[in-house]
Structure 1
Amino acid sequence: MRIGLVRHGLTDWNAAGRIQGQTDIPLNEEGRRQAERLGRRLQSEKYHWDYIVTSGLSRAQETGEILSQMLQVPMLEPDARLKERGFGQVEGLTSDERVARWGESWDTLDLGQENIADIQVRAVAFLEDLWSSHSQENVLIVTHGAFLANLLTALFQDKYKERIGNLSLTILEKEREDWIPLLYNCTQHLSMDTAEQSE
């Protein structure tokens, strides 16, 4: 089984540096263009994808729908376990606003954020269920940055620390026991123009 872990495209809150968490913010026009660039890349690559599944939040759902249409790959029902980490009172705020309210160490305070251990438990449970139901297929998973960072930490400890970019692609493969990383946080498709991608 191969899975492609995709972070949704850009939103206005991403562009403004606001934490989205589970607030349902839609893609902006650049986010839609990013999804199309990834779609063109995937059309030209050797990997075959059987299904797409998203978190159900609109920014991930629309990213998945764009990829589904371009690749002619069916979408599974959204899975709420793929939702972004809940950030409580912090959602909607920029870095400067967070520091102004709670100081430089705001992230050590209990402001209603979802516990890291909890997000990792739901992330790993999702993967185990996906493996149980689709072990002979390849699935694109469209989700969120903090979710992906915590999933990768749960699987690989501290091996991957780079910030997960919008519309980045990470590919993992599993044959029996462990997930093997084949590609990590790749955004090369975002810097390619349409002519390059069609060659």
Structure 2
Amino acid sequence: MSGSLFIVAAPSGAGKTSLVRALVKQDPHVRLSVSHTTRTARAGEADGKDYFFVSQDIFSKMRDAGEFLESATVFDNSYGTSAAAVHHQLHAGNDVILEIDWQGAQQVRKNFPDSSSIFILPPSKQALEQRLRGRGQDDEATISRRMRDAESEMSHYVEFDYLIVNDDFDHALASLTAIVVASRHKLAVQQSNYSTLLADLLA
């Protein structure tokens, strides 16, 4: 059996990371792709678990060698998804989630036209700003910049297959879970997974 690829994008502060981590925790067949990044690790983040933290020089060499399924620059830092790691998980039968921005999503769709893309929105701009401030990670200038960038980011929601408004966390998680489970039962996926059974039933 082969897994399915899911793209999840959202403006910073919309709750994307918390939702994806909750889904991975409750579903043993879902894997979160760990991206490479040139940004500095935040407090509590571990190399290889949250991100692979690399220098700009190493990142550039990997990108030039075609090792990334997608790559983008966000807030002056580079991010990239290892193509080999994603293919390995998919071939092992696991569903893979790419937690990336809209730029990366555009690149992935070209390589994986059968992927499913999900965009997560906050319930309001006020809620988004409160969440950014509540993290206690950024100064005023950074928060203002993230709010400006969020407007640009959110304008790309129309490019995605599914839209979730993260007003209530449990409801949003249930919606995300429903999308993943439903995608596993698409005809093309089931035909591939159960080719032998279908041939036997129709013989």
Normalization by structure 1: what TM-score? 0.33
Bigger Rg, structure 1 or 2:
2
